[in-house]
Structure 1
Amino acid sequence: MDASERDPIDAFAARLIEARRSGRRIPRAQAEAAGSDLTIGGAYGVQASVCRALGPARAFKTGRKALDLPVIVAPVLESGLRGDGAVFSARELGGCGIELEIGFRLDRPLPPVEAEDFAERARGCVTPLPVIEIIDGRIEAFTELSDALKLADNQMNGGLVWAEPQADGATPDFVQPVTDLRFDGRQIVSGPCPVPGGDAFDIFVAFARAIGDHCGGFQPGQIVTTGSLTGMLFVEPGTRIEGRIEGLGTISVSYE
């Protein structure tokens, strides 16, 4: 990438870094003007610059909208990764969207991605577990932005909550798991929920093949999400969120 390509990426990354540090969102019109020519490749360059300044990455999110589309990749920064029962405050988030997802924790180094039996061997390197992604953005009206701008801002990631898997006698379904999501005890989503883009483990494999050394690469101990089972649902401060994925167990987070 030459200097003429690098400068706009660095400039846009600097705006996102300042927005994260100050807690003030970038006005949408300014972001769209600054990122009007931003490509998907440029968006990954912005991610890398933000991660160098404010990282490291402690987890990743991935997913795809359809089977024939490539997966996207976005880092979850260190401050955003929290354990089951965590609390996020309205002081640190401009908004709080909720997505219940299947995650995979890397327990040991993956085999070479070019290996013919990569997917089979990779299955023994990971533990599936329930996760709740917190959605937030550093740009005003972040859900209405272009795909490239969303991706540049870490695909609207505000945080990630994870829980150890709990055996409940059911085999995890990575295609359409039975899911339950409650806000303050009120049932919001219940029943089988399809994984966007197909099988969650297949999505993980595609991610593992795609990430390379982006934002430090995918390292043992890190977690990657695979796409929302419940859609993006926003909550108000004072809400306790409880989720369950059959075969993986329960998870909770509070927004205060």
Structure 2
Amino acid sequence: MPTPLAERFAATLIEAHRTNSRAPASAAAEFSASATGADVTDVQALVADELGPVTAWKTAPGADKPMIAPILGRRVKPSGATFGTDEIGACGIELEIAFRLDAPLPPLDAPDFAARLREVVTPIVTIEVVDGRVEDFVDAPAPAKLADNQNNGGLVLGGTGTIVGTSPAVRLAFDGKVVVEGPATPPGGDAWAALERFVLHVGSLCGGFQVGQVLTTGSLTGMPFIEPGTRVEGEVEGLGSVTLDYAAR
């Protein structure tokens, strides 16, 4: 059963989602001061139960196990989509490599697990939108950020294809102006390795990794923030392009 601490913070985040507002930084500090790992995942699950379904995930390297956070389906859109200021209060941009699960996962203890895992996923280029539900979310304490789905504001799904090496060429442009261009390496050094670590650790959180869901593996381009009215264009070698608009409305 979730603790009262987890239930309070989950309720705070749910209200912030519904009103497109931010809770006081003190709420994140209060939660983080005594939250356990179970409290963090309980908050993720409570928010997903109320506002889900979960249709995507995000991951990043961790000391003992990877960072894992669900992404709500209402925040996953196709390339060319628009996010408005009535949906998100800030718009950080991360160009990323992701994977769509196309068939059931192989047994985790299969001797050829890694090879079989590659056969059931499709690589995708994505843009993750970064936004949080508490004030000063970029600098919020780590437990609060992770409980708040690691500040996910949205995910835009672009082209599919083949990942070129471990450092494919990337290009990110805002209103036609190139802001990042050249080879880039995913966090942890290898998107395929990030996928494998995620699958081995996600377990049954929010229903686990299900067919049709997408996992995104971390920024190739840093996390620049953009102003309303900006068009974003991203490309990853071998995967194609992805675009979004951030609109004032």
Per-residue CA distance 1:17-41 (angstroms, 9 max, x = gap): 1111122210112321243211333
Any gaps of 5 or more consecutive residues in structure 1?
none
Q: For this pair of structures, how many residues does the alignment match?
A: 247
SS in 2 for 1:101: strand
Which amino acid counterpart does residue 17 of structure 2 have in structure 1?
R
Aligned pair 1:231/2:222, yes or no? yes
TM-score (norm 2): 0.95
Which amino acid counterpart does residue 253 of structure 1 have in structure 2?
L
Q: Which residue of 2 aligns with 1:91?
A: 86
Per-residue CA distance 1:163-218 (angstroms, 9 max, x = gap): 1325xxxx523521111000000000000111111210010011011111111111
Aligned partners of 1:151 and 1:81: how far apart in 2?
18
Which amino acid counterpart does residue 35 of structure 2 have in structure 1?
L
Q: Which residue of 1 aligns with 2:38?
A: 41
Q: Which residue of 2 aligns with 1:10?
A: 7
Q: Which residue of 2 aligns with 1:195?
A: 186
Aligned partners of 2:151 and 2:166: how far apart in 1?
24
Aligned pair 1:111/2:109, yes or no? no
Aligned pair 1:132/2:130, yes or no? no
Aligned partners of 2:238 and 2:29: how far apart in 1?
42
The runs of at least 4 consecutive aligned structure 1 residues that moved more than 3 Å come to none
Which amino acid counterpart does residue 112 of structure 2 have in structure 1?
D
SS in 2 for 1:14: helix
Aligned pair 1:205/2:189, yes or no? no
Aligned partners of 1:21 and 1:172: how far apart in 2?
37
TM-score (norm 1): 0.93
Aligned pair 1:148/2:139, yes or no? no
SS in 1 for 2:128: strand
Q: Is the 8 A contact 2:90 2:131 kept in 1?
A: yes
Aligned partners of 2:166 and 2:37: how far apart in 1?
27
Any gaps of 5 or more consecutive residues in structure 2?
none
Q: Which residue of 2 aligns with 1:32?
A: 29
SS in 2 for 1:44: helix
SS in 1 for 2:125: strand
Aligned partners of 1:248 and 1:120: how far apart in 2?
20
In the TM superposition, residue 69 of structure 1 has moved relative to its aligned partner by 4.8
In the TM superposition, residue 8 of structure 1 has moved relative to its aligned partner by 0.9
Q: Is the 8 A contact 1:106 1:222 kept in 2?
A: yes
Q: Which residue of 2 aligns with 1:79?
A: 74
Q: Is the 8 A contact 1:174 1:200 kept in 2?
A: no
Per-residue CA distance 1:93-129 (angstroms, 9 max, x = gap): 1100000000000010111112121111010000001
Q: Is the 8 A contact 1:62 1:227 kept in 2?
A: yes
Aligned pair 1:247/2:232, yes or no? no
SS in 2 for 1:218: coil
Aligned partners of 1:8 and 1:30: how far apart in 2?
10
Q: Which residue of 2 aligns with 1:157?
A: 152
Which amino acid counterpart does residue 38 of structure 1 have in structure 2?
A
Equivalent position to 1:19, from 10, 16, 21:
16
Aligned partners of 1:69 and 1:87: how far apart in 2?
37
Aligned partners of 1:105 and 1:174: how far apart in 2?
19
Aligned pair 1:184/2:212, yes or no? no
Identity of aligned residues (%): 47
Aligned partners of 2:64 and 2:164: how far apart in 1?
22
